[in-house]
Amino acid sequence: MLQRLFDAGEIYKDKQSGYYSVRQEQFLTDKERGQDGEFGPEWGQVEFREEENYYFKLSQYKDWLLRYTDNRRDAVIPDFRQTELRNAVERISDNRQSGSDLCISRPKSRLDWGIELPFDKDFVTYVWFDALTNYISFAGYDPKIDNYEKQPQEFRDRWTKETLQIIGKDILVPAHGIYWLIMLHAVGFPDHAMPQLLVHGWWNMSGAKMSKSAGNVIDPFVLADKYGAEALRYYLMSDIATGKDADFSEERLIERYNADLANSLGNLLSRTLNMLEKYTERKVKKPTATQITDDLNSGYRDLSREYQSLMTYNTSRALESVQSLVDIFNRFIDDRAPWKLAKSAASREELDEVLYDCTEFLRIIATLVSPVLPKAAHGIFDQLNWKMELSGKEERFSFKDAEWGGLPDGHIVGKPVPLFPRIETAG
């Protein structure tokens, strides 16, 4: 790839002097200085340096990158990270002498462990071509072919317009949002083949980033042993908003588990199966289409679609939608009061409808939560006596089965077993 870009005049040799960020691997200009005239801590160690190296003509692609992010509103998610990227691109100077081009080499005299430049054996490549190109080389990209559409089928099957790269917020600018996208464009990737960037935040402790050197780290294995892997996974997936930071809290872990799982989902499962055992000898009766509560099913369908869409990139909101469904059905039971309906033979059909709705919902909710709570999802299916031949196997769950009405008339459910025992704390 470097040879192709060099032959095309995209890489040039130049001598540059100035203040250099060791962390960001780039020369800095006065526009990077703060109001106090100093370079901020985000640049790490800064030193004055004069050196001859090879440069990639990054600055000439500024307008393309701006057009690309204009045309693709979800190039970076969440959207405030795309705004952050655009602001950074706007600051790129069109003048290559400003330091906006990317230095991609180091002389062997001071860095001898890198990969030699194919067009100059006195230099090694560093950085980012040697690092970022691993994303496509592992997928089978052939660097000798400059036409993306003529790349091996194996590569194009793996690297599609749905390609999603997950990165931390600290490496969006400039590495992945600027360097990487421009590198791909320069070697012939069309806009539709650009990867979508999902940018996540940090887990903090009392507002400070977790760090081994600071010692404020959490051992997930200790927490999994203490609370169970499911409880820990649910907390980690539900309590941080995509793209933003969150403070880790063991107390919050317990709070979310008890509220969402023990008190809400676990309670819904227990009360539904208990009522089926008490009123119908654990047999569900499927109502006719006209009997099923229209607003209930309409609300389910909307929230289910929202969940499936959000699960791609925003698991916290996806799980919020699941919790909304559980809350709806707990309120539904309270409003319809099956224990009152059971007292009158005239209310038998309404009782059967309520119990079917709740049981069918539990069947569907097990599928929806299975990516985050696989053990619990199997537990729900086991108690519903559903797909028992696949018990414990991943293929037991599929979104195509998460459609209303799959539970057959006359289906016999199992007996309730506590699925989410409350986590009790001292005091």
What would the pLDDT profile of 153-195 be if each residue is shown by its tens digit?
999 999 998 999 999 999 999 999 999 999 999 999 999 999 9
Please report which confidence band the pLDDT of residue 99 belongs to, taking 50, 70 and 90 as the band edges: low
Please report which confidence band the pLDDT of residue 245 belongs to, taking 50, 70 and 90 as the band edges: very high
- Return the pLDDT at 65: 98
Instruction: Give the residue from 232, 162, 240 showing the smallest Cα distance to 200.
Output: 240
Please report which confidence band the pLDDT of residue 399 belongs to, taking 50, 70 and 90 as the band edges: confident
Instruction: Give the residue from 216, 215, 197, 196 showing the smallest Cα distance to 206.
Output: 216
Please report which confidence band the pLDDT of residue 323 belongs to, taking 50, 70 and 90 as the band edges: very high
- Cα–Cα distance for residue pair 152/148, rounded to 1 Å: 9
Q: Say yes or no to pLDDT of 310 above 60.
A: yes
CA atoms within a 13 Å half-sphere pointing along the CA-CB vector of 340: 5
Sign of CA dihedral 77, 83, 88, 89: positive
Q: Give bridge partners of residue 167 from the DSSP assignment.
A: 199
Please report which confidence band the pLDDT of residue 127 belongs to, taking 50, 70 and 90 as the band edges: confident
Which residues lie closer than 8 Å to 362 by C-beta, 6 or more apart?
268, 269, 272, 380, 384
Q: Say yes or no to pLDDT of 41 above 70.
A: yes
Please report which confidence band the pLDDT of residue 31 belongs to, taking 50, 70 and 90 as the band edges: confident
More confident residue, 14 or 240: 14
CA 175 to chain centre: 19
Q: Say yes or no to pLDDT of 278 above 80.
A: yes
The two three-digit tokens of residue 260, written as one number: 């969402």
User: What residue spans of 159-292 are helical by DSSP H?
Assistant: 181-186, 220-227, 229-238, 250-256, 266-280
Average pLDDT, the chain: 91
User: Comparing 26-40, 281-295, 385-399, which segment has the lowest mean pLDDT?
Assistant: 281-295
CB 105 within 8 A of CB 54: yes
Sheet holding 76-77, edge to edge: 76-77, 196-200, 164-168
- Residue 355 identity: L
- Return the pLDDT at 148: 95
More confident residue, 89 or 211: 89
- Return the pLDDT at 426: 76
- Return the pLDDT at 214: 83
CB 402 within 8 A of CB 367: yes
CA 131 to chain centre: 22
For 47-75, the pLDDT digits (tens) are 998 999 999 999 999 999 999 999 999 99
The percentage of the chain sitting over the pLDDT mark of 70, rounded to a whole number, equals 95
- Residue 92 identity: I
The two three-digit tokens of residue 205, written as one number: 């402790």
- Return the pLDDT at 96: 57
Q: Say yes or no to pLDDT of 110 above 90.
A: no
Quick one: 306 exposed, middle or buried, by C-beta within 10 A (0-12, 13-18, 19+)?
middle
The two three-digit tokens of residue 163, written as one number: 């390609």
- Return the pLDDT at 112: 81
CA atoms within a 13 Å half-sphere pointing along the CA-CB vector of 49: 21
- Return the pLDDT at 240: 86
For 357-389, the pLDDT digits (tens) are 999 999 999 999 999 999 999 999 999 999 999
Domains of the chain (ranges plus CATH)?
A: 2-200 (2.170.220.10), 249-401 (1.10.730.10)
